[in-house]
Amino acid sequence: MTAAEAGTDGVRAIEAEAVPTRFARGWHCLGLSERFKDGRPHTVNAFGQKLVIFQSGDGRLNVLDAYCRHMGADLSQGTIKGDEIACPFHDWRWGGDGRCKQIPYSRRVPLRARTSAWTTMDQDGLLFVWNDPEGNPPPPEVTIPRIEGATSDEWTTWVWKEIVVDTNCREVVDNIVDMAHFFYVHYSFPTYFKNIFEGPVATQIMKGVGRPDARPPAKNGEPQMRGNTSVASYHGPSFMIDDLTYHYDDMDLHSVLINAHYPIDANSFVLHSGIIVRRSDKLPAGAADAMAVKLGDFILRGFDQDVQIWKHKTRIDNPLLCEEDGPVYQLRRWYEQFYVDVADVRPEMVERFEFELDTTRPTEVWKQEVEANLARRAAESRTP
Binding site for ligand FES (CB under 6 A): 68, 70-73, 87, 89-90, 92
Q: Which is nearer to ligand FES, 115 or 238 (CB)?
A: 115
Bridge partners, residue 88, by sequence: none
Q: Does 306 bind Fe ion (CB under 5 A)?
A: yes
The piece of 56-64, 222-230, 257-265, 301-309 that touches Fe ion (CB under 5 A) is: 301-309
**Could you tell which of Fe ion, ligand FES, none binds residue 175, using a CB distance below 5 to 8 A set by kind?**
Fe ion
**Closest separation in Å from C-beta 276 to ligand FES:** 40
Among ligand FES, Fe ion, none, what does residue 306 contact (CB within 5–8 Å per kind)?
A: Fe ion
> In this complex, which beta carbon is closest to ligand FES, that of residue 42 or of residue 170?
42
Instruction: Provide the sign of the torsion angle of the four alpha carbons 284, 286, 292, 295, taken in this order.
Output: negative
Nearest-approach distance from CB 187 to Fe ion, in angstroms: 11
The per-residue DSSP string of 249-261 comes to: SS-EEEEEEEEEE
**Closest approach of Cβ 255 to Fe ion, in Å?**
17
* Contact pick of 131, 175, 204, 259 for Fe ion (by CB under 5 A): 175
Q: Is 235 exposed, middle or buried (0-12, 13-18, 19+ CB in 10 A)?
A: buried
Rg (alpha carbons) of the chain, rounded to whole number:
24
Rank residues 70 and 114 by Cβ distance to ligand FES and give the closer one: 70
| Phi, psi angles (nearest 5°) of residue 91 | 65, 20
State the minimum distance, in angstroms, from the CB of residue 306 to Fe ion.
4
The nearer residue to Fe ion, 52 or 295, going by C-beta atoms, is: 295
Using the minimum distance from each CB to ligand FES, give the nearer residue, 85 or 240: 85
Smallest distance from ligand FES to CB 48, Å: 21
Tell me how far, at minimum, the Cβ of 72 lies from ligand FES, in Å: 6
Minimum Å distance from CB 212 to Fe ion? 21
Q: Are 225 and 246 in contact (CB under 8 A)?
A: yes
How many CA within 13 A on the CB side of residue 59?
1
Task: Select from 17-25, 49-57, 306-314, 369-377 the region that touches Fe ion (CB under 5 A).
Answer: 306-314
Q: Distance between CA atoms of 215 and 266, rounded to whole angstroms?
A: 37
- E strand intervals along the chain: 26-32, 42-46, 49-55, 61-65, 79-81, 84-86, 93-95, 100-102, 117-123, 126-131, 159-165, 189-198, 201-209, 225-235, 239-248, 252-265, 268-277, 353-356
Min dist. Cβ of residue 181 to Fe ion (A): 6
* Nearer Cβ to ligand FES (72/217): 72
Tell me the C-alpha distance between 123 and 151, whole Å. 10
Contact partner at residue 90 from Fe ion, ligand FES, none, CB < 5 to 8 Å by partner kind: ligand FES
**Residues 228, 211: contact at Cβ < 8 Å?**
no
The residue nearest Fe ion at its CB is 306
Q: Are 54 and 83 in contact (CB under 8 A)?
A: no
Contact 27, 240 (CB under 8 A): no
**Alpha carbon distance 180, 62 (integer Å):** 41
Task: Compute the distance between CA of residue 338 and CA of residue 201 in angstroms, rounded to an integer.
Answer: 11
Of 111 and 379, which has the nearer Cβ to ligand FES?
A: 111
167 touching Fe ion, by CB under 5 A: no
Determine, following the binding rule CB under 5 A, whether residue 273 of this chain makes contact with Fe ion: no
Closest to ligand FES by CB, 91 or 325:
91
In sequence order, which residues have a C-beta less than 8 Å from that of residue 337 and are 6 or more positions away?
200, 345, 349, 350
Nearer to ligand FES, 82 or 223 (CB): 82
Q: Choose the one of ligand FES, Fe ion, none that binds residue 87, judging by a C-beta under 5 to 8 angstroms depending on kind.
A: ligand FES
CB closer to ligand FES out of 92 and 158: 92
Name which of Fe ion, ligand FES, none residue 266 binds, using a CB cut-off of 5 to 8 Å depending on partner kind.
none
- 194, interface contact from Fe ion, ligand FES, none, CB < 5-8 Å by kind: none
Asked if 30 and 129 touch (Cβ cutoff 8 Å), the reply is: yes
Note the residues at the interface with Fe ion (CB under 5 A).
175, 306
